[in-house]
Amino acid sequence: MRKAFWNSALKLSLIGLALVLLHQKVDWNELRALEIKASTLMLWQATVGFLLLFALNLSLDALSWKTVQGILRSVTLKEAFLHNLKAYALAFITPFNSGELAGRYLAQRQKEHRQKTLYLTFWAHAPKLFSKASVGFPLAFFVFIPNSGQSLWLIFLALAYALLLFSYFKLEKVLSFFEKRQIRERKLNHYLVKGRPFWREKLKLLLVNALRFLCFSGQMALVLTALDPALLNLSLLASLPVYYFLTAIIPTWAAFDFLVKSVLSLFFFAFLTDQEILFALASAVVWLFNVAVPALTGLALFNPAELKTIKVRRN
């Protein structure tokens, strides 16, 4: 209970801090005066590319959940897609994404499978974080490490990368270790699925989520291209996944995630350009399409029986 309180206090504090910093850092007159500098043709190309990446992102996330749900039972890609939309919706309207567990719980048809909801949700998120780190670490090295000190940092990067991948593929072993311990007089094996996911499933989840991660970065690059085609260079382009990796490790609430992302972009990209306001705007657009739109769509998909189950579960 105390831990939950401090987690909630931390996230609320971050959102409050983000609001204060956003008010202080943003020149609202400058924001209102912004103009789209891309030609009409380039704007259309960027829009089409953005929407294609939006669709690809949702499809890849459905493929990821299809793989995770397959630990217990097989589902079609369409079913996984609908499960995700409902989970997005509940995560969006509840404090600190807690509603996602309810969404994953509803996806389990058999009563004995519902005990495994937390385990499935864990494997829905762990590959996302590890894939972002796998992509973000090398790019951070490229963007921020000077050429003079690259040899030593390259060794450090190789060791960190090896440790990262080793930890990811051994996560099931770590959970099995804790399975032998009791938590509040309950055995963890009631909630785990022994031996799953297989290493091929772990590799698939890692690669699929790495592609999703690059979709976010690609969408942001396209928005920036539409705002100012001359803005992006190779270093700025490589820094986009690093920025999204940093946002992934900051705890927040999905409905206010854009605030934290926007403020972080103002400070992060200030080291690389004097047009950081464009990056804040682009990150908000990406959030709108990848978080808000799917979540609001998911809200319309719940049937009365599911809403009743959620209400009973909450009480």
**Rg of the chain over all Cα atoms, to the nearest angstrom:** 21
Where do the domains of the chain lie? 31-314
Nearest to 259 by CA among 17, 34, 9: 17
pLDDT at 161: 83
Model confidence over 190-199: pLDDT tens digits? 667 878 899 9
Beta bridge partners of 183: 186
CA atoms within 13 A on the CB side of 81: 10
Q: Exposed e or buried b for every residue in 114-132, given b needs 16+ CB within 10 A?
A: bebbebbbbbbebbbebbb
The mean predicted confidence, pLDDT, of the chain is 82
The Cβ of residue 140 has, within 10 Å, a number of other Cβ atoms equal to 19
Nearest to 262 by CA among 7, 6, 13, 14: 14
DSSP letter, residue 289: I
Mean pLDDT of 65-69: 96
Of 175-179, 219-223, 225-229, highest mean pLDDT:
219-223
Whether residue 280 is predicted with pLDDT greater than 90 in this model: the reply is: no
pLDDT at 82: 94
Return the percentage of the chain with pLDDT > 90, whole number: 34
Mean pLDDT of 261-274: 84
Tell me if residue 193 falls in helix, strand or coil.
Answer: coil
Which pTM was predicted?
A: 0.83
Burial of 133 (0-12, 13-18, 19+ CB in 10 A): buried
Whether residue 97 is predicted with pLDDT greater than 70 in this model: the reply is: no
Of 38-42, 54-58, 99-103, 162-166, highest mean pLDDT:
54-58
Structure tokens, 17: 């801090």
pLDDT at 45: 94
* Residue 22 near residue 16, CB atoms below 8 Å: no
Whole-number Å distance between alpha carbons of 9 and 193: 33
Place of tokens 């739109």: 293
**Distance from the first to the final alpha carbon of the chain:** 17
Whole-number Å distance between alpha carbons of 250 and 247: 5
Structure tokens, 45: 């190309």
Helices (H), 184-301: 199-227, 234-248, 257-268, 276-287, 293-299
What is the separation of C-alpha 293 from the centre of its chain, rounded to a whole number of angstroms?
15
Whole-number Å distance between alpha carbons of 71 and 124: 11
Model confidence over 5-30: pLDDT tens digits? 555 565 566 566 556 655 566 666 66
Structure tokens, 115: 């005990």
Whole-number Å distance between alpha carbons of 53 and 159: 33
